[in-house]
Chain A
Amino acid sequence: MASSLTRREALGGAAAALVLASCGGGDPPPPGTARPGSGAALLSSLLAFEHAVIAAYGACEEVVGGRVLLHIRAIRGEERTSASRLAQVITELGGQPPPGKSAAEYARTFPRLRTSEDALRFAQDLEERQVRADLEALAELPDAALRREAANELGNDAYHLAAVRVLQGLPAAEGPFVTGAL
């Protein structure tokens, strides 16, 4: 439960892990008629987390202002576009895109965000998790056309991650290999 976490934990990886577990990673495969091994289940996991991230940026919008708010809104808009695209691809594979949860259900899993700094730290952790999930999908999806979708997601999320780092006064890239190494 988010309320039992310390402030530091609540704003870092533990909170985002909670969000991930409750909004995508821990869910059973979605219903649908996609062929096993088609990649629909993996894309559905990405989409389930994408829904949570969109809700999370909504929570962030409530505590940020000025330049940061403009960027958060822009990123949230791009995440919505990504969600629509993923849903379309899952449908084309014969799957049923996960619909997402209510705003109230998502809100219960989010940490309490009091300041712009809290929101950006939360956003950074969510974007890092999205980038890792995109990298995993890029490695594991069964055909090149689906991997291209994952690569496009990765590109978008990598731009977002760098932007939320810059908005915190951090270098855009933490190192030469974002969340990985060759």
Chain B
Amino acid sequence: MAARSDVELLEELLVREHALLSAYEAALKRDAIDAELGATLRDHERDHVRALEQSLPGGAARNPRASVPSPKLEAALGGGRESFARFAVDQEGSLVGHYAATVPRIRNARLRGPLGSIMACGAAHVVALRESLGSRYLTY
């Protein structure tokens, strides 16, 4: 299988960041997350989306977005704050894993560090969400 280009890898990350941004926006509208935490996470995701768009040739013009609403997100939103937090922990954790698998394959060395710093922020989001759930397990 041919190696995927940096653009393809970045677009896939952008789709997933858009999905998280949409999830936090929806959660805030439907009071499915604490307002302060939700606004912080949403704002971080906006910055991640903006940064990824800027890293793509053509910038936002290429902007790929997921167009089909996720049934899992709808179910999580309908289940209240704890349900949404568990959903978001899964999504953020999965995205951290996706970054860990993807960023090493990016050929442009100048992008790998900054993309890693977005990945590290995703890990912090997982911890913040676990804390909101009152989890004893912040790191493990």
> A residues touching B (Cβ–Cβ < 8 Å)?
67, 70-71, 74-75, 78, 131, 134-136, 138-140, 144-145, 147-148, 150-152, 154-155, 157-163, 165-167, 171-173, 175-182
Query: Is chain B's binding surface mostly helix, strand, loop or mixed?
Result: helix
Known contacts being A148-B100, A161-B124, is A177 close to B105, with CB within 8 Å? no
Q: Are B116 and A151 in contact (CB under 8 A)?
A: yes
Q: Which of B84-119 contact A (CB under 8 A)?
A: 96-97, 99-101, 103-105, 109-119
Q: Are B103 and A151 in contact (CB under 8 A)?
A: yes
Max chain B Cβ within 10 angstroms of own Cβ: one of A136, A162, A178: A162
- Of the candidates B47, B99, B103, B136, which one forms a contact with A176 in the assembled complex, judged by CB atoms under 8 Å apart? B47
**A162 CB to nearest chain B CB (Å):** 4
- Of the candidates B54, B55, B116, B139, which one forms a contact with A159 in the assembled complex, judged by CB atoms under 8 Å apart? B139
Interface size class of B (residues with CB under 8 A): 35 or more
Q: Are A155 and B104 in contact (CB under 8 A)?
A: no
Tally A-B pairs: CB < 8 A: 136
Known contacts being A147-B104, A148-B100, is A154 close to B116, with CB within 8 Å? yes
Known contacts being A172-B125, A173-B124, A179-B120, is A144 close to B105, with CB within 8 Å? yes
Tell me if B31 counts as interface (CB < 8 A to partner A): no
Cα distance, A139 to B116, chains bound together (Å): 9
Known contacts being A159-B127, A163-B138, A182-B51, is A176 close to B116, with CB within 8 Å? no
Residues on the B chain within 8 Å of A178, using CB: 117, 120-121, 124
The residue of chain B having its C-beta at the shortest distance from the C-beta of A150 within the complex is B104
Residues on the A chain within 8 Å of B122, using CB: 158
The residue of chain A having its C-beta at the shortest distance from the C-beta of B131 within the complex is A166
**B131 CB to nearest chain A CB (Å):** 5
Known contacts being A135-B113, A139-B112, A173-B128, is A161 close to B120, with CB within 8 Å? yes
Residues on the A chain within 8 Å of B96, using CB: 155, 158
Tell me if B44 counts as interface (CB < 8 A to partner A): yes
Q: Are B121 and A176 in contact (CB under 8 A)?
A: yes
**B7 CB to nearest chain A CB (Å):** 16
Cα distance, A134 to B115, chains bound together (Å): 12
